[in-house]
Amino acid sequence: MEHIFYSLQDFMVYTKGITYLIMGGLLVLLPLFWVFVAGNDEKKELF
Amino acid sequence: MAITRRKFLGWMGCAAAGSATLAGTAAYGASNKEFKGHPGSFGVLHDTTRCIGCRKCEKACNEVNKMPDPKVPFEDLSVLETERRTSVHTHTVVNRYAPSKQASSEKQHPIFVKKQCNHCLEPACASACFVKAFKKDKKGPVGYDETLCVGCRYCMVACPFNIPAYEYDNPLTPRVMKCTMCLPRIEEGKLPGCVEICPREALVFGKRDDLIREARMRIQKYPDLYVDHIYGEHEMGGTSWLYLSKVPFSQIGMREDLGTTSAPQMTAGALSAVPIVVGLWPVLLTGIYAISKRKDKVAEEEAQEAIAHVKEEAETALASELAKLKEKMTKEKETAVTAAVKKAMDEAAAAAQAEEKAKTEEQKAPEAESDVEEEK
Amino acid sequence: MAFKLPPVSLKIEATPGNIITGIILILGFGLTVMRFYGGLGAVTNLDDTNPWGIWIGFDLLCGVALAAGGYVTSASCYVFGLKRYHSAVRPAILTAFLGYALVVFALHYDVGRPWRLPYPIFVSPGTSSLLFEVGLCVFLYLNVLFIEFTPAAFEWLGLSKIRGIVMKMTMALTIFGVILSTLHQSSLGALFLISPSKLHPLWYSGYLPVYFFISSMFAGMSMVIFEGSLAHRYLHDKMDETHLKESDGVVLGFSKAASFIMMGYLGIKVIGLAIDNNWHYLFTGWGAWFLLELLGFVGLPAFIYAIAARDKNVKLARIASVIAVLGIVFNRLNISIVAFNWHLPAAQRYMPSWMEIVTSVFIVTVGITVYRFITANMPVLYEHPDYKHEH
pLDDT tens digit string along C158-200?
888 888 888 888 889 999 999 999 999 999 999 999 999 999 9
Chain B residue with CA closest to A43: the answer is: B290
- Does the CB of B259 have a partner CB in chain C at under 8 Å? yes
The predicted pLDDT at position C159 comes to: 84
Per the CB < 8 Å rule, is A23 touching B23?
A: no
E strands, chain B, are: 42-47, 93-97, 111-115, 134-136, 142-144, 165-166, 176-177, 203-207, 241-244
Q: Length of chain C, please? A: 391
The predicted pLDDT at position B329 comes to: 87
Query: Going residue by residue through chain A (47 aa), what tens digit of pLDDT does each one get?
Result: 467 888 999 999 999 999 999 999 999 999 899 888 887 655 454 44
Lowest mean pLDDT, pick from B151-160, B337-346, C316-325, C364-373 = B337-346
Distance CA B298, CA B287 (A): 16
Residue C224: C-alpha distances to residues B45, B187, C202, C303 (Å): 58, 59, 29, 18
Give the best residue of C128, C139, C167, C176 to mutate against chain A (max A CB count within 10 A).
C128
What integer best gives the mean pLDDT of chain B?
Answer: 85
User: What confidence tier does C153 reach under pLDDT thresholds 50, 70, 90?
Assistant: confident
The predicted pLDDT at position B21 comes to: 39
CA distance B91 to chain A (A): 24
- Cα-atom radius of gyration of chain C, to the nearest Å? 21
User: What confidence tier does C14 reach under pLDDT thresholds 50, 70, 90?
Assistant: confident
The predicted pLDDT at position B350 comes to: 78
- Does the CB of B120 have a partner CB in chain C at under 8 Å? no
Residue C362 pLDDT greater than 50, yes or no: yes
Q: Nearest by CB to A12, which of C125, C128, C169?
A: C128
Residue B295 pLDDT greater than 90, yes or no: no
Burial C159-192 (b: 16+ CB within 10 A, else e): bbeebeebbebbbbbbbbbbbbbbbbbbbbbbbb
Residue B361 pLDDT greater than 80, yes or no: no
Taking contacts as CB-CB distances below 8 angstroms, the residues of chain A near C171 are 46-47
Residues 6+ apart with CB under 8 A from B269: C193, C206
Residues 6+ apart with CB under 8 A from C16: none
Taking contacts as CB-CB distances below 8 angstroms, the residues of chain B near A27 are 278, 282
Q: Nearest by CB to A11, which of B22, B30, B282?
A: B30
Give the best residue of B120, B122, B291 to mutate against chain A (max A CB count within 10 A).
B122
Residues 6+ apart with CB under 8 A from B18: none
Q: Nearest by CB to A17, which of C125, C168, C171?
A: C125
The predicted pLDDT at position A18 comes to: 94
Q: Nearest by CB to B152, which of C35, C44, C131?
A: C131
Mean pLDDT of C121-148: 94
Residue B16 pLDDT greater than 50, yes or no: no
Residues B140 and B121: beta-carbon distance below 8 Å = no
Q: What is the pLDDT of residues C249-282, one digit of tens each?
A: 899 999 999 999 999 999 999 999 999 999 999 9
- Cα-atom radius of gyration of chain A, to the nearest Å? 18
Strands B134-136 and B142-144: antiparallel
Q: What sign does the dihedral B275-B277-B280-B282 (CA atoms) show?
A: negative
Q: What is the pLDDT of residues B314-334, one digit of tens each?
A: 999 999 999 999 988 888 888
Per the CB < 8 Å rule, is B270 touching C186?
A: yes
Per the CB < 8 Å rule, is A47 touching C125?
A: no
Residue B376 pLDDT greater than 50, yes or no: no
- Does the CB of B292 have a partner CB in chain C at under 8 Å? yes
Is B257 buried (19+), middle (13-18) or exposed (0-12) by CB count in 10 A? exposed
Residues B134 and C21: beta-carbon distance below 8 Å = no
Mean pLDDT of C230-250: 81
CA B127 from centre of chain: 13
Could you give the ipTM of this predicted complex?
Answer: 0.90
User: What confidence tier does B20 reach under pLDDT thresholds 50, 70, 90?
Assistant: very low
Q: What is the pLDDT of residues C135-147, one digit of tens each?
A: 999 999 999 999 9
Q: What is the pLDDT of residues B54-68, one digit of tens each?
A: 999 999 999 999 999
Residue C356: C-alpha distances to residues C60, C176, C372 (Å): 13, 34, 25
Q: What is the pLDDT of residues B235-259, one digit of tens each?
A: 999 999 999 999 999 999 999 999 9
Q: For residue C379, which amino acid is it?
A: P
User: What confidence tier does C8 reach under pLDDT thresholds 50, 70, 90?
Assistant: low
Mean pLDDT of B149-168: 96
Which H/E stretch holds residue C352?
none
Residue C86 pLDDT greater than 60, yes or no: yes
The predicted pLDDT at position B177 comes to: 96
Residues 6+ apart with CB under 8 A from C207: C268, C271, C272, C275
Those residues of chain A whose CB sits closer than 8 Å to some CB in chain C are 9, 12-13, 16-17, 20, 27, 31, 46-47
The predicted pLDDT at position C7 comes to: 62
> Would you state the torsion angle of the CA atoms of residues C90, C93, C99, C102, taken in this order, to the nearest 10 degrees?
-90
